[in-house]
Amino acid sequence: MAIPALKAQRRTTVGTKQNRILRAQGQLPGVLYGKGKENINLVFDIHAVEKLMHDAEHVVELELDGAKAHALLRAAQHNHLGDSIEHIDLTRVDLSEEVRVNLPLRWVGTPKGANQGGVLEVVRATIQLSCAANNIPKFIETDISHVELNHRFLYKDIKLPVGAKLVPRAELLVAICRV
């Protein structure tokens, strides 16, 4: 798995007005924190970050001040319409370190219950896993072709990748096929 590079520069100006100016120039404000080190205000090329988000990348090789370090894209704040990124948070990470991530669930197949007039009702569209930072999948593919009418699909029914551990309770409802 190739880890994408992300170039960053230190940001000396802070505040709403300065961040608006940066975004108007095609740059994105962000912050790097964690590992007991000082927080660093950063600025990124907005298109590079949008590509990483589109490609569902979690870990990046951050290039800052001529040095390279790994970071986990922890959070992205969007504008009030949800159509553009306003700010990102990254945390320092070692590739072998266990991290918690929320991943989307992708449903594969048609439930058996759909042939009997049922509809799959998705209660939770994401799953929280704990896994090594260098082994984070982009999504969790889940086969639902065996789900019958009025069958409850729980977190414990999801096949996890090797080395990943489920964080929420295994008995939580994820989806149900019902009329």
**CA–CA gap between residue 155 and residue 93 (Å, rounded):** 27
pLDDT at 179: 85
Query: What pTM was estimated for this model as a whole?
Result: 0.81
User: What percentage of the chain carries pLDDT values higher than 70?
Assistant: 99
3-class DSSP assignment, residue 133: helix
**pLDDT tier at 62 (50, 70, 90 boundaries)?**
very high
Question: In the predicted model, what is the mean pLDDT of the chain?
Answer: 92
Structure tokens at 11: 């940001």
**CA–CA gap between residue 130 and residue 116 (Å, rounded):** 37
Distances (CA, A) of 83 to 18, 50, 77, 78: 20, 11, 10, 7
- Summarize pLDDT for 121-166 with one digit per residue, the tens: 999 999 999 999 999 999 999 999 989 999 999 999 999 999 999 9
**CA–CA gap between residue 39 and residue 6 (Å, rounded):** 18
pLDDT at 171: 92
Look-up: residue for tokens 């964690």? 34
Q: Which of 131, 122, 116, 120 is nearest to 165 (CA)?
A: 131
Q: Which of 22, 119, 4 is nearest to 58 (CA)?
A: 4
DSSP secondary structure letters along 24-68: HTTEEEEEEEETTEEEEEEEEEHHHHHHHHHTT--EEEEEETTEE
